[in-house]
Amino acid sequence: MQLETPTFVSHLECSMTGKVYEADRVHGLSEAGRPLLVRYDLEELGRSITKTALRERRGHGFWRYREFLPVRRAANVVSLGEVITPLIALDRLGQQRGRLLVKDEGRLPTGSFKARGLALAVAMAKELGLKHLAMPTNGNAGAAMAAYASHAGLRSTVFAPADTPEINLREIAAQGADVYRVNGLINDCGKIVGEGKDKTGWFDLSTLKEPYRIEGKKTMGLELAEQLGWKLPDVIFYPTGGGTGLIGMWKAFQELAEIGWIGGKRPRMVAVQATGCAPIVKAWEDGVEHAPLWENAHTVAAGIRVPVAVGDFLILRAVRESGGFAMALDDDVIMEARDRCAREEGLLLCPEGAATLAAYERSLREGLVKPTDKAVLFNCATGLKYPLPEATASLDRTKPIDYSQF
């Protein structure tokens, strides 16, 4: 992989106060306890690459956007064969042909969009000399960290709620991490990680508690813009837990506009949650910038069961600046959308991805979006990681078969 082109990182910046932090140093949260954002010399970046040159690059998935990423040395890139994830039209479920698209992130290594953020975070951990990484997870993020850390030769430790799907826990362990079940939610697991930093020496790779997972998730926005000919969709529906991807895409659009690759139009960003865990939706409805802890969080869509998000204000700012909105769906509505999409379109969404389809359909009914809007739904993981409806029909080949039943 030819990645020796230097990146254009200039500094890091507190997302709340704007305080500047030096690049190429190990950082967690800012002194204000808020996420740090990577900043680039965008003028130099814009001069270093053209759309034509980018189009001529082949392979390497999101690493092909190397000028927009913080890894300085090719030897520190950690790759498991990333791909450009496809945009799939849902013409049976969409109101107008070609207007409803799903970006299927389940095609990435470890089967979810967590591969983007964790590939960058692990690569930067390697570049900065870290040896032991730890994080809380609802499943997919832990699997991605385990895989990329093992590939990079780093140790990883993962803490997951006890009711995390068994397939996720086994996947994490199989890919080399030490994984522990915790009798609590993901924020309880995060507390263990935070308290253990000084005692164990591990680095906390929790959502938004280091600067680089945002940069990995940012590639969803870069990739989407390129796939659509550098013309952004009218609306994006995004399953929102910690919200790294929504924040990252909004950052990508800002950077692309600043180098002149896209115009001023932005998609409306829609944060989609479940009614059993909807802190961002409540904060949006209440008109506030921070979302208090959601008590007794529960939903079948485990990936968006995040009772409190350190980047809540960044999610809400992106939603409001874009003219978007936040919406929560009941679990039964989410699962009905999943089953119907699989049956009618042949696309098996994960529950979190299905929540975006349910939100799109409700938004149509309520007039929040139009049938003519180009809408992109994010399916964040393969549906094969989640329990599926039983298939119970059987035949006895030793007895006469009643073909009228078919």
First to last CA, the chain: 53
Instruction: Report strand pairing: 132-136 vs 203-204.
Output: parallel
Q: Which two tokens stand for residue 218?
A: 């940012």
Report the C-alpha gap between 100 and 104 in whole angstroms: 13
Cβ contact 54:66 at 8 Å: no
pTM of the model: 0.94
Cβ contact 280:246 at 8 Å: no
* pLDDT value of position 358: 98
Report the C-alpha gap between 128 and 140 in whole angstroms: 24
Q: Write the DSSP string, 51-85.
A: HHHHHT--SSGGGGGGGGS----GGG---S---PP
1-14 pLDDT, tens digit per residue, is 445 556 899 999 99
The burial class, CB within 10 Å (0-12 / 13-18 / 19+), for 51 is exposed
Residues 6+ away with beta carbon under 8 Å from 374: 99, 101, 228, 233, 234, 235
Cβ contact 225:189 at 8 Å: no
List the alpha helices (DSSP H) in 201-301.
Answer: 212-227, 244-258, 279-286
303-343 pLDDT, tens digit per residue, is 999 999 999 999 999 999 999 999 999 999 999 999 999 99
* pLDDT value of position 354: 98
* pLDDT value of position 4: 59
Sorting pLDDT into bands at 50, 70 and 90, what band is 380?
Answer: very high
Number of C-beta neighbours around residue 341 at 10 A: 24
Report the C-alpha gap between 45 and 43 in whole angstroms: 5
- For the cut 50, the answer to whether the pLDDT of residue 25 exceeds it is yes
The DSSP output letter for 112 is B
* pLDDT value of position 3: 52
* pLDDT value of position 327: 98
234-254 pLDDT, tens digit per residue, is 999 999 999 999 999 999 999
47-62 pLDDT, tens digit per residue, is 999 999 999 988 779 9
Residue with structure tokens 């064969």?
A: 81
Report the C-alpha gap between 163 and 181 in whole angstroms: 8
CATH number among 3.30.420.10, 3.40.50.1100, 3.40.50.300, 3.40.50.720, domain 212-384: 3.40.50.1100
Q: Which two tokens stand for residue 384?
A: 């094969």
Residue with structure tokens 């529950």?
A: 351
Query: What average pLDDT score do residues 225-234 get?
Result: 97
CA 241 to chain centroid: 9
Q: Write the DSSP string, 5-38.
A: S---EEEEEETTT--EE-SSS---S-TTS--EEE
Query: What average pLDDT score do residues 346-351 get?
Result: 97
70-112 pLDDT, tens digit per residue, is 999 999 999 999 999 999 999 999 878 889 999 999 999 999 9
Q: Which two tokens stand for residue 89?
A: 């039209």
* pLDDT value of position 5: 58
Query: What average pLDDT score do residues 254-271 get?
Result: 97
Sorting pLDDT into bands at 50, 70 and 90, what band is 293?
Answer: very high
Cβ contact 5:48 at 8 Å: yes
**What is the assigned CATH class of domain 114-204?**
alpha beta
Report the C-alpha gap between 85 and 62 in whole angstroms: 9
Cβ contact 14:32 at 8 Å: yes
* pLDDT value of position 329: 98
168-190 pLDDT, tens digit per residue, is 999 999 999 999 999 999 999 99
The DSSP output letter for 382 is B
Query: Which residues make up the CATH 3.40.50.1100 domain(s) of the chain?
Result: 114-204, 212-384
Task: Kindly state the percentage of the chain with pLDDT values over 90.
Answer: 95
CA 395 to chain centroid: 43
Q: Is the dihedral of CA 300, 370, 226, 242 positive or negative?
A: negative
